[in-house]
Amino acid sequence: MLVLGIETTCDETACAVVKNGKEILSNVIATQTDLHSIYGGVYPELACRRHFDLIIPLIDQALKEANVSPAEIDLISVAYGPGLIGALLLGVHAAKSLALAWNKPFVGVNHVEAHLYAAWMGCENPEFPALGVVISGGHTFLVKMEALGHYEMIGQTVDDAIGEAFDKVGVLLDLPYPGGPEIEKLARQGDPKRFPFKAGTVKGRPWDFSFSGLKTNVLYTVKGQNCDKKAPSQITEHDKPHIAASFQEAALKDITIKTLAAAERFDCKMIFLGGGVTHNQRLRELFQNSKVPVHWPLPRLSLDNAAMIAGLGYHIFIQKNYQGDSYELEPKPRIPLSK
Ligand code: KG4
Ligand code: ZN
């Protein structure tokens, strides 16, 4: 079964063709970081316009690279949330239009659930219960997975998502947007023990996360106590790699320690990690001694992409054995993890 995936939830326009949920025939991604970098974050209106310009050429390219014609596509799968409403509208309407024009079924999938799917897409024999961990720019949570579509929330961030904290610290250190990969690069030259940063804990909720205190700690270090964000920096260029390394170590160790403890506590047979922060190599090192097998997204599936959307769409379509979604399906900025 050939599935065309469409992803436009935030600042990546992406299209892919995936066979039977696993075999990636094409995976085309147009990132918009150039467009948003001067704003230090995503500018929603500009994101929408760029999706509008790119969506049709990218669909063409994905079909061409997969060497597949529209007639051969069996299903169209689109991320219908969570995300920026204008950006989602573009993708969902493109999917509905193609479904109508090509007379094909379509299915709307959850972008965050697709990040989890990206991790078990490469796993031949997934074993359950498993621990699902999403660490992205918009989400940070742990779920117990009993099967695809069956999740029990264990813990989540009470303030910033971890990727958001990386991006905000990137702004404090005058790094280009998005801050995550830049901090990782800078941290390689720094001493992670130089600054005593720590991620937050939430009283009585051992599996929850809090990164806003950590971020504020970096702010005070960079600008001095009682500062405002516009105050001049109190650090030298020489301090920056040490701040990046100390921040990164604190944030990533918090994820690692809670994930490994939760996997043990909830008797999980595998750990699946998804979302943009899984791109970080230091995080992968920290998980090296895990007793529970750890699965990461395949290359090019950590950051936003449409192969994970096509793959998840395939499973939802065959599992529920339905005819696809109706044209009533609307994009939603917030949706529960599974349909
Ligand atoms: O999953 P994703 O592409 O988009 C969302 O669904 O949010 O994640 C993007 C996030 C950004 O916050 C970005 O800074 C972060 O992932 N990120 C990283 C790295 N690469 C991307 N964070 C830390 N280290 C990285 N190497
Ligand atoms: Zn994402």
pLDDT digits (tens, 9 = 90+) for 118-177: 999 989 899 999 999 999 999 999 999 999 899 999 999 999 999 999 999 999 999 998
- According to the model, what pLDDT value does residue 16 have? 98
- According to the model, what pLDDT value does residue 228 have? 67
Lowest-pLDDT choice from 37-51, 157-171, 262-276, 283-297: 37-51
**In whole angstroms, what is the distance from residue 235 CA to residue 299 CA?**
36
Question: In the chain, helix, strand, coil percent, each to 5?
Answer: 45, 20, 35
pLDDT at 338 > cutoff 80: no
pLDDT at 229 > cutoff 70: no
Q: Find the 161 Cα to ligand 1 centroid distance in Å.
A: 10
What length is written for the chain?
339
Q: Which of 160, 277, 284 to mutate to test the pocket of ligand 1 (most atoms within 8 A of CB)?
A: 277
What are the tens digits of pLDDT across the range 43-62? 888 989 999 999 999 999 99
Three-point CA angle 82, 85, 91, nearest 5°? 85
pTM for this predicted structure: 0.95
CA 103 from chain centre, in angstroms, equals 31
Q: Find the 111 Cα to ligand 1 centroid distance in Å.
A: 14
What is the pLDDT of the chain when averaged over all its residues? 94
Lowest-pLDDT choice from 3-12, 117-126, 187-196, 315-324: 315-324
Q: Find the 124 Cα to ligand 1 centroid distance in Å.
A: 26
- According to the model, what pLDDT value does residue 60 have? 98
Strand partners, 130: 145, 270
What are the tens digits of pLDDT across the range 240-257? 999 999 999 999 999 999
Closest residue CA from atom 13 of ligand 1: 180
Give me the percent of the chain exceeding a pLDDT of 70: 98
Which pLDDT band, with edges at 50, 70 and 90, does 22 fall under? very high
- According to the model, what pLDDT value does residue 283 have? 98
Which pLDDT band, with edges at 50, 70 and 90, does 182 fall under? very high
Q: Which ligand is nearest to the CA of 178?
A: 1
Measured on CA atoms in the order 300, 302, 308, 312, is the torsion positive or negative?
positive
Q: Which of 42, 303, 305, 334 to mutate to test the pocket of ligand 1 (most atoms within 8 A of CB)?
A: 303
Task: Give the pairing type, strands 130-135 and 270-274.
Answer: parallel
Q: Find the 164 Cα to ligand 1 centroid distance in Å.
A: 8
Lowest-pLDDT choice from 105-114, 216-225, 265-274: 216-225
pLDDT at 233 > cutoff 90: no
pLDDT at 322 > cutoff 80: no
pLDDT at 236 > cutoff 90: no
- According to the model, what pLDDT value does residue 143 have? 98
